[in-house]
Amino acid sequence: MSAASLPYGGPSLDVRNVFWLLASMAFVVAPHLERTPAWATIFCATMLAWRAWIAWAAQRFPSHWIIKLLTVGVTVATLYSYRTFVIGRDAGVTLLIVMASMKLLEMRTQREVVLSIYLGFFLVLTNFLYSQSIPLGIYLLFSVWFFVATLVGFHRVGRTPTMRERLVPAGLLLLQALPLMAVFFMLFPRIQGPLWALPQDARAGVTGLSDSMTPGNISQLIQSEGIAFRVRFEDRIPPYQTLYWRGPVMWNFDGRTWKASEFSRAATLEYSKAEKPVRYAVTLEPHGKHWLFALDVPATAPPGSSARDDLQLRSVRPVDQTVRYELTSYLDYQYGEKLAGILRRFALSLDEDRNPRAIALGRQWRDELGGNATAIVNRAFQFYNREFTYTLEPPMLGERDPYDEFLFETKRGFCEHYAGSFALLMRAAGIPARVVTGYQGGDINPLNNELIVRQADAHAWTEVWIENRGWVRTDPTAAVSPLRVEGGVNAALGPIGAMNSLIAADKFGVLSRLRYAWQFANSSWEQWVVGYNVERQRQFLTQLGLGLNIDWRTMALWLIGLTFLIGGAISLGLLVRDRPRRGEPSLVAWKRFCAKLAAAGLVRAPNEGPLDYLARVTKARPELEPDASEITRRYIDARYGSGATANEIRELRRRVRAFKAA
């Protein structure tokens, strides 16, 4: 038996090792299945099954021509599925998945095994292009563990290892890598801009407010329990009813839909009255649009954004990743006492052919009250307070005159029904009005005193322009359901969503505490892991005493120094742990075997391992191959395997004693 044909000669591509790799690949691809086209999922599963069949039944590998045809086919299918010749995030990930699955069909040698595993590591990273949540991070950590365990299995000498013999060494390797990983994460120079997003299609599938509002769209958003943003106040949290988080401002109205207008221009915010300042920091979740949310009303725009003359904040770039910004807002303010003629016309525009009864009612109030804006607003509030109901499930409204149906027939609606109809009535009464959408309220986490604003807190209200007072916030929802603005949607309508229902039913508050703990963990994760940007790194380095003016050269020196320090400490520990013990039976027997060969003129070189030494011995003395091969195999099993029994050690010693090289 030659050295090349020994069962322990290099990584064994036996069935169990191949199945471990296929299972690891399927595990890391699984989170992508909901995003990839159906054909890609079927193709990937087919490739994995084909490779498993090749390993199980010892079948032939496909020819290079088949691989080339498949490559062309999946490339064309990917480009067709995404209707683009520019490989963006979704198309690129799909192409990588199908190519990695095809690569398994070419896996014949150790080099191709390692390449497939490295492709698996790349697939791990692609999951972060879609989410950076804690559960996904834990899931992908297991993916890395399985790939490392697969690599251990392919390099195990002598026999195919058990599951424990794969997972334990792989886990130890990951633990040993943690210090270096932490050093590189904290000290490696950060880059500006999103690390885990691509501009072409990174905004796909984000939930949040829209730049238009029709009856029913905000009530649909209320069903979502997703987090919109988190807020940390410098001092005490303001009263709940003052927590209006300003977002898109709607000027355009076609009789049914209110839309944000590009008519608003960048402006310097100047208030004739600005009192009760509140300082806070917002951690905003990605929503794919340009607007930033601020407590009504912001004093200035944060860096990287601009303020509009309708008090809306807009980011220079779309919010495709979690962003953090600090703001100061005024709870008591006066703004816009002068209204330009073009803005006045814009804020009074109506489609006279739609919602005629609502328009007639507004004009009736104007005539009865002599155009007194304050009196007209109060009359409208009395109108809503008498007969209307605040509900999450309002009746469907027609396409042509939806607000007529709401005001005079159904009289059941959510905040967008009241805000939209109120602005319509005000415009009909000759009062400039616009709709503002955003969020109202929030949930305070007692663990860190952080305010959590969810999609379920989405809200719409109205602003009217009054002579000598400027733009004044008026919330008609408060006239119908005061609890909505004083305690939130759950206070007004009862628990919404499965989680809120469970928390409400929990008499001991366990679920509520668990939810707050989870939110606290998510907040810390977002702040110190996902949101660890240039600014955060600078703060961390300042705390270490490195100063604010640290440059790339200094950072590189620190990285190199700490890498050598930690790597050296780990290596020294491993050397001490694994140093050969003089009295180790298998090592003593091996040295005696080598001494016999050296006496015959076959001296082992210091850098020559057992297999290389065996290959040289059998080449020089073919007649020694059977005994030398058996002794070498038994030594490798005892020295590098899971441990030899006493009988196996005795058998190794016996064979060495009986071996004759002369």
Q: Which residues are catalytic?
A: 415, 459, 475
HSE on the CB side for 312, CA within 13 Å?
27
Judged by phi (left if over 0) then psi (alpha if -120 to 50, else beta), residue 398 lies in beta
Q: 143, 138, 457, 141: which is closest to 285 by C-alpha?
A: 457
- Residue 584 φ/ψ, nearest 5 degrees: -65, 125
CA–CA distance, 246 with 296 (Å, rounded to integer): 6
User: Helices (DSSP H) in 104-231: which residue ranges?
Assistant: 110-126, 134-154, 163-187, 217-221
d(CA 503, CA 509) in angstroms, rounded, equals 7
**Residues 6 or more apart from 500 whose CB is under 8 A from it?**
225, 490
CA distance 565 to 571: 10
Q: Which residue has the tokens 């810390």?
A: 524
Q: Residue 412's closest CA among 398, 435, 426, 396?
A: 396
**Cβ atoms of 31 and 127 closer than 8 Å:** yes
> DSSP states of 515-535 as a string?
HHHHHHHHHHHIIIIIT--HH
> 322, 528 in Cβ contact below 8 A?
no
Q: How far apart are CA 452 and CA 231, in angstroms?
A: 6
Cβ proximity of 115 and 228 under 8 Å: no
